[in-house]
Amino acid sequence: MSERTQSEAFAAPRRELAADTFGMWIFLASEAMLFGALLLVFLAARIAYPQAFAAASGHLSLPLGTANTVVLITSSFTMALAHVFADAGRWRGATAGLAATGALGLVFLAVKGYEYRSEYLEGLAPVLGAPFRYEGPAPANAELFFNLYFTMTALHAAHLLGGIAVVGFVLARWRRTAAAGRLRRVTATGLYWHFVDVVWIFLFPVLYLIDR
Amino acid sequence: MSADTYPPQSYFAAGYGPRAWFLTTDHKRVAWLYLVALTAFFFIGGAMAVVMRLELATPQGDVLTADVYNRMFSIHGIIMVWFFLVPSIPATLGNFLLPLMLGAKDLAFPRLNLASWYVFAFGSLFTLFAVIAGGVDTGWTFYTPLSSLYSDSYVSAAAFGVFIVGFSTIMTGINFIVSVHKLRAPGLTWFRLPIFVWTMYATALVMVLATPVLAASLILIVLERVFGIGVFNPELGGDPLLFQHLFWFYSHPAVYIMILPGMGVVSEILPCFARRPLFGYRAVALSSMAIAVFGFLVWGHHMFVSGQSAYAGVVFSFLSFLVAIPSAIKVFNWTLTLRKGHITFDTPMLYALGFLGLFTFGGLAGLFVASLAVDVHLHDTYFVVAHFHYIMVGGMVTAYMGGLHFWWPKMTGRMYSELWGRIAAVTTFIGFNLTFFPQYVLGYLGMPRRYHAYPAEFAFWHVLSSTGAVVLAIGYVMPFFYLGWSLLRGSAAPANPWRASGLEWQTASPPPQHNFARTPTVTEGPYAYPEPEDER
C-alpha cells in the first residue's frame, strides 16, 4: 500500500475521506444549533419590538453589508474551485484557490472592522462604560437590537477568523501533506467555509434588511 | 506496575511512562485518562454532598452559612453534571468499548479523542479555579436575572469552564457517530450492534445537537455580565425567562445523556448473568433513539410555574408523558430477559438489578412531576431532588459502577475480589435508598430545596437521609480500594471471565494495542445466549 491513512482505524484513504467529510457534516449540524439558538433569541426580541427593531436596522450600513455579502459569496466560489482542483489533483490551482479564499476572508473582516468602528463612534456599541447614543423611537429596545447585532456578527466573525486560520494551516503544511491528506483537508475546510458563508446569508437579511 | 506483569502484546505494553499516557491516541488509554479525571471529580463532588448532608443533620444552620451552602450545592451540581455524569460512561467505558464492539482498531478520529481530554481537563480545572477563588451561588442552572444581574460570585469563570468542557463533549459525540457509521466490522449490520452501541449513538446525537445551545446560553450570560447586552434584562426589553428556555432546551436532552449510557450498560449485563438473549432487541434499540428524539421536545416541563402559558404547559406535560413509553418498553424488556434465566448474582448483576429497581422508581416519580397540577405542589421541593437523584445516581452511577465491574477484567486484565464487590454493591443500594427515599417524603411534605436550615418537624427525615449519605459514601469508597488492589495484585483475568457474548470478549484481556489480531467478521446478532426453548 503506497497510500497511508492518518488514523489507524481506517484500511483505505477513500474510507477515511468519507469519514472526515461525514464528521464535518455532524460538526456543522452542531454549529447550526449554536447559531440557531441565537437566531431564536433575536426572533423573540424582534417579535416583541417590531417597530424599534425596524428603525434600528436602518442605522446599519447597507452598502458595506452588501459589499461584504458579495465578498463572502466570492470566497465560497474560490473555495469551491480549490476543491475541484484538489479533486483533480491539480495542486497549483488548489493552493491558489485556498489563498484567494483566505484573502477574501480577510477583506470581509477588514470591512466588518470598519463598520464596527463607525458604529462605535456613533455610540451604538456596548463597549465597557461607553454611553449608548441613539436618536429614534424606543432607544432601550434599539440598544437591545444593536447588542444582538454585535453578538451575532462577532460570533460569525470569530468563526470566519477560525476558517482563515485553518486555510492558513492547510497551506502552511501543504508540502508535507500527502495527496489523500490534501484532498481530505480541502474538503473538510471547504464544508466549514461554506457553512460560515451560509450563516452570513441568514444574518444579512435578518439584521440589515428588516424594513428596506 | 512493572513491565513484566502484562503480556507483551497487551496495550499496556506500548509504554509505561508519562509520554505513553499523555500523548497516546489509543482509545483504551484515553479512556483511562478520563477514568482518572472523572474519579477525582466524583469524589470532590461527593465530598461536597457529604458536607451538605452534615449541615442538614440538624434543623438549624450550624456547619455552613447560608451563603457557603449556596455555593456548595451549586458547585456540587456543576461538577456532578458536567464533570462527571455527562462524560461518565461515554468517555470511559464508551471510549474503551466502542471500537472493540465495532470490531475496529480505534475510533474514527483518535487525535480528536485525545484532544477532547485536554479540553475537558482545561475547562474543568478552570471551573475548579472559580470554586477556589470564591465559588458560584446560582445553582448549576445559572438562572437569570440572579446570575446575570445580581450575583457577585464567580459566575463568568464557572460558565466559561463549562462552555469549554462542552467542546470536549461535542468532540466525543462526533467521534462516536462517525465511528458507528464508518467503522463497523464486516457483517456487523445496524441490527447486530449491541444495545450499548445503540445507546452511545443516541447519546452522541444528543451531545452534538444539544450542547451548542448550552454554549449559546452561557455566551449570553457572560456577555450580559461583562457588557450588559440586556438580552435577559427587562430594562432593555430582554426576557429573563428566555434563559430558562435556552438552558432547558439543552439540559433536558442532557438528562438523557446522563441516563441512556446507563441503559446501554445494563442491557449488556442482564443477558449475560441471566444467560438469556435480550428480550425484544429491536424495541430496546429503537426506544433509545425515541428517548433521544423526545428529549428535545419536553424542556418546558421545568417551567410549569415559571409563568409560561397554560397551553404550553399542557403540551409539554403531554409530551413528557410520552417519554414514559420508550422508558417502559426498556424496563419491561429487561424484566422479561430475566424470565426463565439462569441468574447468578455476580457483582455487575447486583448493580444492574439495582439499576432496574431504582430507575423504575425514579422514572415513575417523573410522571408525578410531569403532571401539571401535581407539579405546582412539588416544584422546587425535595421531591424533585429525590426524583432526579434516583435517575442520575440510582440509575446512571449504579450502571456506571456495574459497567466498571463488568468490563474491569477486560480493561485491566485483572480480577477483583468478588466478595468485596458484592458487599459494595449492596451497601450502595441500601445507602442510596436510605439517602433519597426520605427526600421524596420531605418534598411531599413541603420541604423546599436549597435551604441550609429547616423547621424542626422535618428533622426525622433529614436525619435518615444524612445517615444514608454516610452509608452511600462508604459504598462508593470501597471499590476505590479493592479495584486499586486488583490493579496491583489481582489474579490474571481470562479473555472472557463471564462467558459473555460480544466482540470485546473475543480478544485478549487486556486487549492488544490494535484490539484484534485480525479484523473479526460478524455472522450473527448480539446476545448469543441460549433461548428459553432450547433447554426444555
* pLDDT value for A136: 86
B227 close contact with A: CB closer than 8 A: yes
The predicted-structure confidence for B25-44, as pLDDT tens digits, reads as follows: 999 999 999 999 999 999 99
* A10-14, A50-54, B357-361, B384-388: segment of lowest average pLDDT: A10-14
Residue A72 neighbours by CB under 8 Å, 6+ apart? A104, A105, A108, A197, A200
B25: nearest CA partner in chain A? A7
Please tell me the distance in Å from B402's CA to the nearest CA on chain A: 29
Please tell me the distance in Å from A108's CA to the nearest CA on chain B: 24
Q: How far is CA A155 from the centre of its chain?
A: 9
Query: Cβ–Cβ of A9/B107 closer than 8 Å?
Result: yes
Residue B245 neighbours by CB under 8 Å, 6+ apart? B299, B300, B303
B228 close contact with A: CB closer than 8 A: yes
Of A37, A138, A144, Cβ closest to residue B212: A37
Which residues from chain B sit within 8 angstroms of residue A10, using beta carbons? 108, 182-183
Query: Which ipTM was obtained for this model?
Result: 0.94
B111: nearest CA partner in chain A? A7
Q: Is the CB of residue B265 less than 8 Å from the CB of residue B93?
A: yes
Which residues from chain B sit within 8 angstroms of residue A140, using beta carbons? 230, 235-237
Of B106, B181, B229, Cβ closest to residue A7: B106
A124: nearest CA partner in chain B? B229
Domain edges within chain B: 26-531
B211 close contact with A: CB closer than 8 A: yes
Which residues from chain B sit within 8 angstroms of residue A51, using beta carbons? none
The predicted-structure confidence for B354-369, as pLDDT tens digits, reads as follows: 999 999 999 999 999 9
Residue B336: count of CB within 10 angstroms of its CB: 14
Query: Cβ–Cβ of A26/B173 closer than 8 Å?
Result: yes
Q: Phi and psi of B448, rounded to 5°?
A: -75, 155
Residue B142 neighbours by CB under 8 Å, 6+ apart? B155, B159, B217, B218, B221, B243, B247
Mean pLDDT of chain A: 94
Q: Phi and psi of B512, rounded to 5°?
A: -65, 170
What topology is assigned to B26-531 in CATH? Answer: Cytochrome C Oxidase; Chain A (1.20.210)
Determine the 3-state secondary structure of B15 from DSSP: coil
Please tell me the distance in Å from A163's CA to the nearest CA on chain B: 17
Please tell me the distance in Å from A169's CA to the nearest CA on chain B: 17
* pLDDT value for B392: 96
What are the beta bridge partners of residue B492? Answer: B414
User: Residue B24: is it exposed, middle or buried by C-beta count within 10 angstroms (0-12/13-18/19+)?
Assistant: buried
Closest CA to B474 of B438, B423, B433, B400: B423
* Chosen from B178, B179, B251 to mutate, greatest number of chain A CBs within 10 A: B178
A48: nearest CA partner in chain B? B237
Q: Which residues of chain B have a pLDDT value below 70?
A: 1-8, 533-536
Query: Cβ–Cβ of A45/B105 closer than 8 Å?
Result: no
Which domains are present in chain A? Answer: 13-208 (1.20.120.80)
* pLDDT value for B293: 94
Which residues from chain A sit within 8 angstroms of residue B518, using beta carbons? none
Q: Place A131 in a pLDDT band, splitting at 50, 70 and 90.
A: confident
CA pair distance B332, B495, nearest whole angstrom: 31
Residue B330: count of CB within 10 angstroms of its CB: 25
Q: Is the CB of residue B277 less than 8 Å from the CB of residue B334?
A: no
Of B173, B227, B514, Cβ closest to residue A126: B227
Which residues from chain A sit within 8 angstroms of residue B215, using beta carbons? 34
Q: Which three cell numbers stand for residue A77?
A: 466560489
The answer on pLDDT for A197 being more than 90 is yes
Determine the 3-state secondary structure of B367 from DSSP: helix
Type of residue numbered B162 = V
Q: How many residues does chain B have?
A: 536
* pLDDT value for A9: 85
Please tell me the distance in Å from B491's CA to the nearest CA on chain A: 32
Residue B533: count of CB within 10 angstroms of its CB: 7
Q: Phi and psi of A4, rounded to 5°?
A: -105, 150
Query: Cβ–Cβ of A8/B105 closer than 8 Å?
Result: yes
A144 close contact with B: CB closer than 8 A: yes
CA pair distance B440, B385, nearest whole angstrom: 8
Q: Which three cell numbers stand for residue A92?
A: 497549483
Q: Which three cell numbers stand for residue A55?
A: 428603525
Of A19, A33, A48, Cβ closest to residue B209: A33
B216: nearest CA partner in chain A? A34
